[in-house]
Amino acid sequence: MRWRLDDLEVLCAIAEAGGITGAARRLDLPKSTVSKLLSRLEQGLGVRLIERSSRRVAVTSEGEAFIARASLILDMAHEADAMMQGLLAVPTGRVTLAAPAAFAREVLTPRLHDFARRYPQILLDLVVTSHPAEGIGERCDMAVVAGMQPDSSLSQKVLLGGQLIWITSPAYAAAHDLGGPGAEDLSHLMIWETRYARHGVDVHEGGLARHLPLPRKAMRVNDPICVREAVIGGMGVSFLPERYCIGALADGRLQQVWPHLRFDREAARLALLYPGSKLLSPRFRAVAGFLEEICAR
């Protein structure tokens, strides 16, 4: 390498401060040292980066191109240093976490006491919302989101996989002919989560892909727990993440139907979204780690 990381710090300081004097003041270095480091960098690269005169300095076109990349390198170096420092720090501060209601009720809030005991200096603000991904970086720091997420500038960490399953109440199944493979009657779908209403659902039957448009005359709810309770009460057939049905299936309040119509294995996944730099702080890393831990259980 023909230059050093410290040389980049000097170059960027000169460009930002508008001169060697300002850069020396900012870096708390003698002017002669700043000038010498700049000369060393230019000699190493073999190109003039800063034009100097008695009155002012000006960044050359080559200097502008190099500074753009040098700034990125410095940002990465600072983040790496902050991360390593954070590994040794006690997680402290406030974290705003947005989450859908079902996850908050069924998975997170029963374990908040464990979190508070383990991280007493983290102040966790939990925002329960049907649109947790909105406002990341402004109103919230991190968000738990349901379903497959499109590519974005946000970092993603999968917390839970799991499948959607078809469910109904035993009483409804006994009172209606729900049909077998290839003969299922979708008119029994009376309620489902709002997020599926626009596009329908994709399933696999006997190794073949099928797209199922959902009936238009049905109720839509933006919370899977409400859908579950409605189906237990006799509201036909619906489909839900299996994790929210385990207890009701075990005690007989629900039963699974149409097992031949299988959803994609990632259709019910939960992911954690966050701006990449957030996890450099110990408190954000602590929250992410705790969420991974309780979901792994």
Q: Who wins on pLDDT, 227 or 26?
A: 227
Render pLDDT for 47-96 as a digit per residue (tens, 0 to 9). Answer: 998 888 766 778 888 988 998 888 888 888 877 777 666 665 678 888 99
Residue 28 has a pLDDT of 86
Query: What is the CATH code for 5-86?
Result: 1.10.10.10
Render pLDDT for 13-23 as a digit per residue (tens, 0 to 9). Answer: 888 888 888 88
Residue 278 pLDDT > 60: no
Would you kindly state where each structural domain of the chain is located, as residue ranges?
5-86, 93-161+269-296, 164-263
Residue 115 pLDDT > 80: yes
Residue 198 has a pLDDT of 66
Cα gap 97→94, rounded to integer Å: 10
Mean pLDDT of the region 124-131: 85
Do 5-86 and 93-161+269-296 have matching folds?
no
Residue 150 confidence class, pLDDT cut points 50, 70, 90: low
Encoded amino acid at 6, one letter: D
Residue 162 has a pLDDT of 74
Render pLDDT for 178-235 as a digit per residue (tens, 0 to 9). Answer: 877 666 788 899 998 887 766 678 888 887 888 887 887 888 888 889 999 999 999 9
Would you tell me which CATH number, out of the four given (3.40.50.170, 3.40.50.1370, 3.30.365.10, 3.40.190.290), belongs to the domain 164-263?
3.40.190.290
Mean pLDDT of the region 124-147: 80
Cα gap 39→268, rounded to integer Å: 58
Residue 297 has a pLDDT of 74
Residue 139 pLDDT > 80: no
Residue 136 pLDDT > 80: no
Q: What is the mean pLDDT of the chain?
A: 84
Q: Who wins on pLDDT, 84 or 3?
A: 3
Residue 245 has a pLDDT of 92
Residue 1 has a pLDDT of 61
Reduce the secondary structure of the chain to three states and give it as a string. CCCCHHHHHHHHHHHHHCCHHHHHHHHCCCHHHHHHHHHHHHHHHCCCCEEECCCCEEECHHHHHHHHHHHHHHHHHHHHHHHHHHCCCCCCEEEEEEECHHHHHHHHHHHHHHHHHHCCCEEEEEEECCCCCCCECCCECEEEEECCCCCCCCEEEEEECCCEEEEECHHHHHHCCCCCCCCCCHHHECEEEHHHCCCCEEEEECCEEEEECCCCCCEEECCHHHHHHHHHCCCCEEEEEHHHCHHHHHCCCCEECCCCCEECCCCCCEEEEECHHHHHCHHHHHHHHHHHHHHHC
Residue 253 confidence class, pLDDT cut points 50, 70, 90: very high
Residue 163 pLDDT > 70: yes
Residue 279 pLDDT > 60: no
Residue 114 has a pLDDT of 94
pLDDT > 90 fraction of the chain, expressed in percent and rounded: 24
Give me the phi and psi of 240, to 5 degrees please.
-145, 160
| CATH class entry, domain 93-161+269-296 | alpha beta
